[in-house]
A and B are shown apart, each in its own frame.
Chain A
Amino acid sequence: MVSFHPDAKFLTDFAAGNLPLSEAICVAAHLEFCSKCRSHVQQLSDLGAQLMARLEPQLAAADSDDRQAFEQLMQRIDAADTDTAVTSAATTISAGAARGSSANPLGLPRVVQKLAAGGLQDLKWAQFGKSLRIAPIRIGEKTRETAIYDIRAGGRMPEHEHRGEEITVLLKGSFSDADGKYVKGDFVVRHAGERHQPTATLDTDCICLVSLEQPVKPSSFWYRLLEPFVNYRLSGLSN
């Protein structure tokens, strides 16, 4: 049972369409596991619609005729109609394929399936120690890294500290740290400066979607992603 949810700030920014992509992907993944948050997002969309209805209506520029504008719109629709029919048929087929059990054996959220087109095994994985591998997902955002983490059953990640906020959404399996146990669907936020040492449960691998806020200082892509672990290693060596 999901028990860690995005807070009101995440859900409001999401429903208003203001949440940056990396975080929005994490919220969207959580929503597929959580009907409670889905209904909150729906209510927040109702709120957005009510606010829109209260705006002072804006008429088209004075020189354009409403009726003529409508005719032009219909001409555009008619011209595109044949294309649309073809496209929507194709979309239906691919959506159906994605939902089929053979294409999605892990029951991954739609957004993760899309990011990992071709399956998780086809992502570019980097092995880190025995238990952890990381596949970065480039979505063109500058202030956050997005990645999939795969922790082997029973695997223990090094204790680490983040210099920015970290969001983790559990997609499969479960893990625990000093603060609690987390299961599939949980949306866990760690703030800058918090230390933790996640451990996957013994019986199954743990797969997570992670969004990591980056410190301001520039560094290479891989270094930024692995920084928490690299720091651990260096400090381990010097001890």
Chain B
Amino acid sequence: MDNKDDMETAVSVHPGRSATPDPWAENVRRVAETRDRAAFQELYKHFTPMIRAFLLKSMGAGANRSEAEEITQEVLIKVWNKAASFNSSKASVNTWIFTIARNTRIDFIRRNERNDRKIDIEDIWHEPDSPEPLVDLQQRRAEQVIKQAIATLPDEQLQVLYKAFMEGKSHNEVAEELSLPLGTVKSRIRLALNKMQILIDR
């Protein structure tokens, strides 16, 4: 922590360099710039089993295995098509792919609803337009804090986070499934977020 200021200066002099190296950022850059198929295939190999696992869980009873497989392919096609919009100072490739998978899942669920609205999921769950360089760098460091803290969470806190993020359940649904008061679910999530330095005031 002693040379935090030095790090800040060093990083802001080289805005292209992130606080921690992301092993996959180079692959995405190559896909964006030269449509590099070998780089894409490496991403495919690493992320497909993860995306598939997430969709099998989060699409829930509303989807069967072949639908989950189809949505997995859709996510990968978006990774290829959107590679140019990936910003390595804002998020890791891991986080970027998670948000694409999350949005594709929301889109799938809403596709099965009857509705007349011309609103796209991307109008709601989108990347902010304006770059915020300083905030972004703090963000990238925060990601490391989250990664380390997650391994130390008690099971009961990990369980509610897992149900919310991986099984696609709202606070109310988690409370119902675990037969816990809503307040207990809220406080478990709050405790976990505090440990990961995600400090939301209210």
Nearest B residue to A64 via CB reads B69
Task: Establish whether residues A61 and B53, one from each chain, have CB atoms under 8 Å apart when the complex forms.
Answer: no
Q: Does A197 contact B (CB under 8 A)?
A: no
- Docked Cα-Cα span, A13 to B169, in Å, equals 8
Task: Establish whether residues A51 and B168, one from each chain, have CB atoms under 8 Å apart when the complex forms.
Answer: no
Q: Does A139 contact B (CB under 8 A)?
A: yes
A97-138 near B? 1/0 per residue, CB < 8 Å: 001000000000011001101000000000000000000001
Interface of B: prevailing SS: helix
Contact partners of A203 in chain B: CB under 8 A? none
A32, chain B: closest CB distance, angstroms? 8
Contact partners of B65 in chain A: CB under 8 A? 61
Q: Does A5 contact B (CB under 8 A)?
A: yes
Contact partners of B198 in chain A: CB under 8 A? 40, 43-44, 47
Task: Establish whether residues B91 and A46, one from each chain, have CB atoms under 8 Å apart when the complex forms.
Answer: yes
A62-100 near B? 1/0 per residue, CB < 8 Å: 000010001001101100100010001000000000010
- Docked Cα-Cα span, A60 to B73, in Å, equals 11
Task: Establish whether residues A24 and B193, one from each chain, have CB atoms under 8 Å apart when the complex forms.
Answer: no
Task: Establish whether residues B77 and A73, one from each chain, have CB atoms under 8 Å apart when the complex forms.
Answer: yes
Nearest B residue to A27 via CB reads B124
Nearest B residue to A80 via CB reads B77
Task: Establish whether residues B190 and A31, one from each chain, have CB atoms under 8 Å apart when the complex forms.
Answer: no
B36, chain A: closest CB distance, angstroms? 12
Task: Establish whether residues A48 and B50, one from each chain, have CB atoms under 8 Å apart when the complex forms.
Answer: no
Interface size, chain A (Cβ < 8 Å) = 61
Q: Restricting to B176-193, which residues have a CB under 8 Å from any CB of A?
A: 186, 189-190, 193
Q: Does A35 contact B (CB under 8 A)?
A: yes
- Docked Cα-Cα span, A225 to B125, in Å, equals 26
**Other CB < 8 Å A-B pairs besides A17-B168, A46-B142, A47-B146, 8 of them?**
A44-B198, A49-B98, A52-B98, A57-B49, A60-B52, A76-B73, A77-B81, A115-B117
- List A residues at the B interface (Cβ < 8 Å): 5, 7-9, 11-19, 21, 24-25, 28, 31-32, 35, 38-40, 42-61, 66, 70, 73-74, 76-77, 80, 84, 88, 99, 110-111, 114-115, 117, 138-140
Interface CB pairs A-B, < 8 A, 14: A12-B193, A17-B102, A25-B124, A35-B135, A43-B142, A45-B91, A46-B142, A47-B161, A48-B165, A60-B48, A60-B69, A74-B37, A111-B123, A111-B124
